[in-house]
A and B are shown apart, each in its own frame.
Chain A
Amino acid sequence: MDQLLPVEIVEAGRVFPQALSACADLDGLLRLKGAYVGREGSHAATLMDLLKAAPKEQKRELGAAINALKQQWEEGLKARQLELEAAKKQHASRADRWDPTLPPPVPAQGALHPLNRLMDRLVDVFRPLGFHVEEGPEVETEAHNFDGLNIPEDHPAKASSDTFYLAAHPELLLRTHTSPVQVRTLLRVAPDLVARGGIRFLAPGRVYRKDEIDPTHSPMFHQVEGMLVGHGIGMQHLKGTLEYALRALFGPETEIRLRPSYFPFVEPGCEVDVSCPLCGAKGCRVCKGSGWVEILGAGLIHPNVLKYAGIDPTEWSGWAFGMGVERMAMMLSQTPDLRLFFENDQRFLRAMGGLD
């Protein structure tokens, strides 16, 4: 039969299956279709011309052969078209499908500064006990920073080697602790202390001491001061409040320990240790194996501090504490270098600060 057909047609028929499977898209298939079974110029058209011109006796046999060939091509094309259409549909549906593993746009994430976060947390802890926040200026008078706090005239902290003073105002300094807020607040509330039923507040803030900048010293740092004035206030109330607060902060299993100490503005005075929150008092590097970490200084308000503010120490009494925020932050986070808190690298802030 083949000898009836021109050699190029036979060749086209032979390569048809490969050509078909090589067709990767519908456009290509359309071109292939045109080449094989198109109306004009296609292999099928050539065959039809051949059939027309064939001697009559050959027509029957030739016609059958041509039809078979055409049918084979058309079926092949149709099947391939279905295949390609299905593939296209599948691609389209894949393109629409969202890949949840692709990194999505994430809203920019900021952070509160870890020191502020810690101070906010302390305020949160004391709020249920009725404490509010009092604040005072960082540029203070000597009277508020020292005299009102029963700090003697010749105390070394007053020296210009320890405290920053202002050039144009020799009586003004950068407060060396948040305690002047005690003095300011007591002076303010003294006239109506009875009507208020005493006072209790926290004073978080920035303070300054003339220390060179190194891994454990900074000329500016933060303190949180706490103070309570009422009737018949004693050491038991200081202990009770701190036990509540430090448990709220570090967990209910936390123990506290008071040790005698000395600060001019309290009497009795004490240092307060907390059972190491990092090792659960088992002993670690932070607590130097002792199970205890020193956390703050406190005591009952010295009668002279109350007197300075015009409050009668035979009627009123109270307690006060002061806590170093950086020290606590470094202890809790085990940050090795204090300077990191003031360098404000966004990576540090994001890792340490968080949002609330």
Chain B
Amino acid sequence: MWIERKALAQEIPAAAALETRQLSELLASLGFPVDGVASREGGDVLDVDITANRGDAMSHRGMAREVAARLQQPLAPIAMPTLAEGKPVVEVRLESPACPIYSTAVLELGPGTTPADIQSFLLALEATPKRLPAVDASNELLHRYGHPTHAFDADRIRGAVSVRWARAEETLVTLDGVERKLVEQDLVIADEAGPIALAGVMGGESTKVTEATTRVLLESAWFDPKPVKAMARRHSLHTDASHRFGRGADPHMAMVARNLLAGRLQAWCQATLVGAWTAGAAPATAKPVPLTGTLLTRIAGEPLALAEAAEALRRLGCATDLDGGTLQITPPSWRHDLMISEDLAEEVLRLQGYEHIPSVLPPLEGPPEPLSHAYLQRQRLARRLAQLGFHQTVTYGFISPEADAAFAAPGNGAEGRTLVNPLGQEYSVMRGSLLPSLQAVADQNLRQGAREVRLFELAPVYNCSPAGPVEQFLLGVVWGGTLGGEDYLSPARAVREADLSGIAKDLGWEGLSPLRSLGQGLFGFELPVESLPRMGARIIPAFSPFSRFPSVERDLSLLVDLGQSHVALTSAMRAALPKGALLDLRCVDVFRHKSLPEGRQAWLMRMRFQAERTLVGEEVDGWVAAALAAAESLGARLRA
């Protein structure tokens, strides 16, 4: 909200002595940070950020109240003509409790326009002066005192005016020229022909004040914040008025603002008063809120005298009553945010300045909790993969239905995971797999010229259930591109499935290969984090003895069929070998060449033996022969 320094100083003269920077710091320390300062013709204008709970601060007067309370300086009085309340010129019926007071007047307009200083005040606040006194005065009052008012062309109102709920099928063309279909939750001002304004939000086109207007009906009411907020949202009509009524205006300002508005019209365009009257009355003030010394001291972190607190709260317009050990506080009619003791404690601290709050570390009242296994597991996996050369990615949890369908598990339908209001179709399904996102990131990196991509992500995927999507943390890994070739010792070659398979093994995965080919030499897998082995519960695992006798290594070069399964061959050979002595058995080289018999390949099988004694050559020879025989039973032959 824009606050003109000059206009602020008219409300709180002591602020005139402050430099813009000092004023900005003062406002920030009161909870109203200044987002920017604009230098305009009439002086500096501050862009003040006002939190949603402080409708009362949305005006120069509102800001001035805050500054006055902090500086302990008086506010300027509001110069207001007194208007004699008279008989209604037009009947005003209040049919809903959402509008308890409606203060109005009818005036005959004379010649004259909006004064230049008012026009420049409005321009400084980025409001456009209309040079229609009734409109500009209403606008000026809103910015100066925070109370929204409205002027109708009185001659275009038909019959009595009522404040009531809209009826189904009713419509209203608002001032912005849009025809609005009304619902029964819309509070309207209506004449006998139908709605003429959305209460507290925007006036209607049919009764708006124009150059031709000669008689105006003023409206200065108070509307319940709830229906106003709802209407603003329903009709996407966020106006200066709806912001202020929606956050809670001051009901006692209804008559004051009406008087000020009438007074301005009398002064600016020689308007003559036909009549002024008020329907209803301002609602009763809120109940007092208690504040105890105990609570205040606990929140403030140091003993604060209740008398001191009472003094601070009085500066904010509260009525205070020290009742035994408890302060009873009645907030002023403009403060709707002071509802509980904590609110009052905050006000005391706020006026004092948060910089006076002491700094203390909270005492530990119980034993700290360890980090969860699931959390530590993810940390461990992330660190291991980063050490192995993989880059951790962070991608959106929603993807396109097409990308999702290509990877989600068959039973995991997308319907239960689809957003009703996505940013776009490509972000509409809570993903059932990490691989589409990783594939997209990998492709993008390769397109950007990366020789090799190594990526992983640790994130939840969403599995459908009748109660809604259930999250499961997955680890997704992809690897592709060209390996090596960047130094004199590492030859260049394409990344192979086996490379990624080795990564799954490194992470402790022992099941079947979870690998998927993602096209263009890119491979990936994803696994539930909880399916990977946890770090052991013991700090150091139990000791398992190992032999100190020398081990013996033997290689067998076998011709095997091209379709031979390694696991089948090794388990057959293993079965023929003494369990206690076989340390390891694996294929250490695969040779495929046209010089070999067609349909065959050569595998170099390595066996490593060790026992709790020195092994003798002959017995090892016997084992190797047995292993060979087992291999031969599967069709393998010793390679000549």
A and B: interacting chains: yes
Q: Is the CB of A168 within 8 A of B392?
A: no
Name the A residues within 8 Å of B211 (CB-CB): none
Taking the complex as formed, is B362 at the interface, i.e. its CB lies under 8 A from any CB of chain A?
A: yes
Since A166-B416, A236-B300 are in contact, a sample of 10 more A-B pairs with Cβ atoms closer than 8 Å, ordered by chain A residue number, is A105-B487, A123-B371, A129-B361, A133-B375, A139-B469, A168-B468, A197-B366, A208-B397, A241-B361, A268-B299
- What is the bound-complex CA distance between A239 and B358, given in angstroms? 7
Nearest CB of chain A from residue B564's CB, rounded to whole Å: 32
List, sorted by A's number, 6 A–B pairs whose CB atoms are closer than 8 Å: A110-B386, A159-B233, A230-B362, A233-B298, A261-B31, A300-B342
Contact B397 A349 (CB under 8 A): no
Which chain A residues (89-146) contact chain B, with CB distance < 8 Å? 102-113, 115-116, 120, 123, 127, 129-133, 135, 137-139
* B31 partner residues in chain A, CB cutoff 8 A: 259-262
Q: Are A132 and B370 in contact (CB under 8 A)?
A: yes
Flag if B471 contacts A240 (CB, 8 Å): no
A190 within 8 A of B: no
Q: Are B468 and A139 in contact (CB under 8 A)?
A: yes
Shortest distance in angstroms between B87's beta carbon and chain A's nearest beta carbon? Answer: 38
Q: Is A54 interfacial (CB-CB < 8 Å)?
A: no
Does B52 count as interface, using CB distance less than 8 angstroms?
A: yes
User: Are A219 and B427 in contact, with the CB atoms below 8 A?
Assistant: yes
Q: Mark A193-235, 1 if CB is under 8 A from B, else 0.
A: 0011110110000101010110000011010000010111111
Complex: chain A residue closest to B464, CB-CB: A168
Q: From known contacts A110-B385, A132-B371, A243-B359, infer whether A167 and B418 are also in contact, taking CB-CB under 8 Å.
A: yes
Of B313-321, B402-410, B450-458, the stretch lying at the interface with chain A is B450-458
Name the residue on B nearest A292 (C-beta). Answer: B28
Given A271-B33, A350-B391, also A112-B382 (CB < 8 A) = yes
A236 touching B357 in the complex, CB below 8 Å, given contacts A154-B226, A346-B450: yes
Chain B interface, number of residues (Cβ within 8 angstroms): 95
Which of B170-178, B251-259, B346-354 is the interface stretch? B346-354
Question: Please, how many angstroms separate the alpha-carbon atoms of A241 and B453 in the complex?
Answer: 41
Tell me the complex Cα distance, A262–B389, Å.
45
Give, as a whole number of angstroms, the nearest-CB distance from B625 to chain A. 41
* Segment at the interface with A among B102-110, B440-448, B509-517, B605-613: B440-448
Q: Is the CB of B354 within 8 A of A172?
A: no
The yes or no answer to B383 lying at the interface (CB within 8 A) is yes
From A3-11, A55-63, A69-77, A336-344, give the one contacting chain B: A336-344
**A-contact 0/1 string along B555-583, CB 8 Å cutoff:** 00000000000000000000000000000
| Neighbouring B residues of A236 by C-beta, 8 Å | 300-302, 357-360
Chain A residues with CB under 8 A of B374: 135
**With A239-B357, A262-B54, A355-B383 as contacts: A230 and B340 at CB distance below 8 Å:** no
A109 to chain B: closest residue by CB? B389
Residue B210 CB within 8 A of the other chain: no
Look across to chain B and name the residue whose beta carbon is closest to the beta carbon of A244: B361
Q: How far is the CA of A206 from the CA of B396 in the complex (A)?
A: 9
Q: Is the CB of B354 within 8 A of A258?
A: yes
- Residue of B388, B394, B397, B453 near A341 (CB, 8 A) is B394
Assess the B445–A212 pair: CB atoms within 8 A.
no
Please tell me if the beta carbons of A139 and B430 are within 8 angstroms of each other in the complex: yes
Contact of A235 among B30, B301, B421 (CB under 8 A): B301
Name the residue on B nearest A208 (C-beta).
Answer: B397
B386 near A237 with CB under 8 A, answer no
Taking a contact as CB atoms under 8 Å apart, the answer to whether A197 and B365 are in contact is yes
* Residues of B contacting A139 in the complex (Cβ-Cβ under 8 angstroms): 430, 462, 468-469, 471
Check B418 against A260 for contact (C-beta < 8 Å): no
A267 at the B interface (CB under 8 A): yes
Q: Does B621 contact A (CB under 8 A)?
A: no
List residues of chain B with CB within 8 A of the CB of A200: 362, 368
**Is B394 within 8 A of A210, CB to CB?**
no
Q: Is the CB of A237 within 8 A of B360?
A: yes
Instruction: Judge whether A237 and B233 touch: CB under 8 Å.
Output: no
**Residue of chain A at shortest CB distance from B415:** A168
B416 A112 Cβ-Cβ under 8 A: no
Known: A133-B371, A164-B419, A235-B357. A197 touches B364 (CB 8 A): yes
Kindly list chain B residues whose C-beta atoms are within 8 Å of the C-beta of A353: 386, 391-392
Is A169 part of the binding interface, using a Cβ–Cβ cutoff of 8 Å? yes
A165 within 8 A of B: yes
In the complex, chain B residues 324-375 whose Cβ is within 8 Å of any chain A Cβ: 340, 342-343, 345-346, 349-350, 354-355, 357-372, 374-375
Which of A106, A130, A237, A342 touches B301 (beta carbons < 8 Å)?
A: A237
CA–CA, A137 and B471, complex, Å: 7
Number of A-B pairs, beta carbon distance below 8 Å: 262
Task: State in angstroms the CA–CA spacing of A37 and B503 once bound together.
Answer: 67
Q: What is the interface of chain B, defined by CB distance below 8 A to chain A? A: 28-31, 33, 51-54, 226, 229-230, 233, 297-302, 340, 342-343, 345-346, 349-350, 354-355, 357-372, 374-375, 379, 382-383, 385-398, 415-423, 427, 430, 441, 444-445, 448, 450, 452-455, 459-460, 462, 467-469, 471, 486-490
Expressed in whole angstroms, the minimum distance between the Cβ of A320 and any Cβ of chain B is 13
Knowing A168-B415, A342-B395, the reply to whether A112 touches B365 (Cβ < 8 A) is no
- Of all A-B residue pairs in the complex, the 3 with the closest CB atoms, nearest first, are A197-B366, A236-B301, A108-B389
Please report the C-alpha to C-alpha distance between residue A303 and residue B416 in the assembled complex, in whole angstroms. Answer: 36
Nearest-Cβ distance from residue B94 to partner chain A, whole angstroms = 23
B530 to A: closest C-beta gap in Å: 14
Q: Which residues of B contact A109 (CB under 8 A)?
A: 389
Q: Does A40 contact B (CB under 8 A)?
A: no
Q: B346, B375, B383, B395: which contacts A268 (Cβ < 8 A)? A: B346
Neighbouring A residues of B297 by C-beta, 8 Å: 234
Q: A27 on the interface (CB 8 Å rule)? A: no
* Most A Cβ at <10 Å: residue of B230, B345, B346: B346
With a cutoff of 8 Å between Cβ atoms, the chain A residues found around residue B490 in the complex are: 105
Distance of B457 from chain A, by nearest CB (Å): 9
A160 close to B (CB within 8 Å): yes
- A240 in complex: contacting residue of B30, B340, B359, B372, CB < 8 Å: B359
A36 to chain B: closest CB distance in Å? 43
- Given A156-B233, A344-B441, are A235 and B349 neighbors across the interface (CB < 8 Å)? yes
**Residue pair B301, A349 in contact (C-beta under 8 Å):** no
Bound Cα distance from A161 to B420, whole angstroms: 11
Q: Say yes or no: A240 contacts B395, CB within 8 Å.
A: no
Contact partner, B372, options A133, A160, A237, Cβ 8 Å: A133
Q: Is A257 an interface residue (CB 8 A)?
A: yes
- A356 lies within 8 A of chain B by Cβ: yes
Q: Are A260 and B367 also in contact (CB < 8 A) when A106-B487, A344-B394 are?
A: no
Residues of A within 8 A of B233 (CB): 154, 156, 159
Complex-state Cα separation, A138 to B470, whole angstroms: 10
Residue from B394, B444, B487 whose CB has the most chain A CB atoms within 10 Å: B394
In the bound complex, CA of A232 to CA of B417 (Å): 44
Of the candidates B355, B357, B469, B488, the one having the most CB atoms from chain A within 10 angstroms of its own CB is: B357
- List of A residues within 8 angstroms of B355 by Cβ: 257-258
| A window 252-278: CB within 8 A of B | 257-262, 267-271
Tell me which residues across on chain B come within 8 A of A237, comparing CB atoms.
301, 360-362
Minimum distance in angstroms from A354 CB to a CB of chain B: 8
Q: Is A110's CB under 8 angstroms from B468's CB? A: no
Is A302 in the interface zone, CB < 8 Å from B? yes
Q: Are A103 and B488 in contact, CB atoms less than 8 angstroms apart?
A: yes
Does A317 count as interface, using CB distance less than 8 angstroms?
Answer: yes
Given the complex, which residues of B lie within 8 Å of A112, measured CB to CB? 382-383, 386, 392
> Shortest beta-carbon distance, A243 to chain B, in Å?
5
Q: How far is the CB of A274 from chain B (nearest CB, A)?
A: 14
Chain A residue with the shortest CB-CB distance to B49 = A261
Q: Cβ of B467: which chain A residues have Cβ within 8 Å of it?
A: 169
Would A220 and B383 count as touching, CB distance under 8 A? Answer: no
**Chain A residues in 8 Å Cβ range of B29:** 259-260
- Cβ of A345 under 8 Å from chain B: yes
Say yes or no: A104 contacts B487, CB within 8 Å: yes
- Which residues of B lie under 8 Å from residue A300 when comparing CB positions? 299, 342
Whole-angstrom distance between the alpha carbons of A346 and B54 in the complex? Answer: 46
Partner of A197, one of B367, B418, B469: B367
**Residue of B with least CB distance to A288:** B36
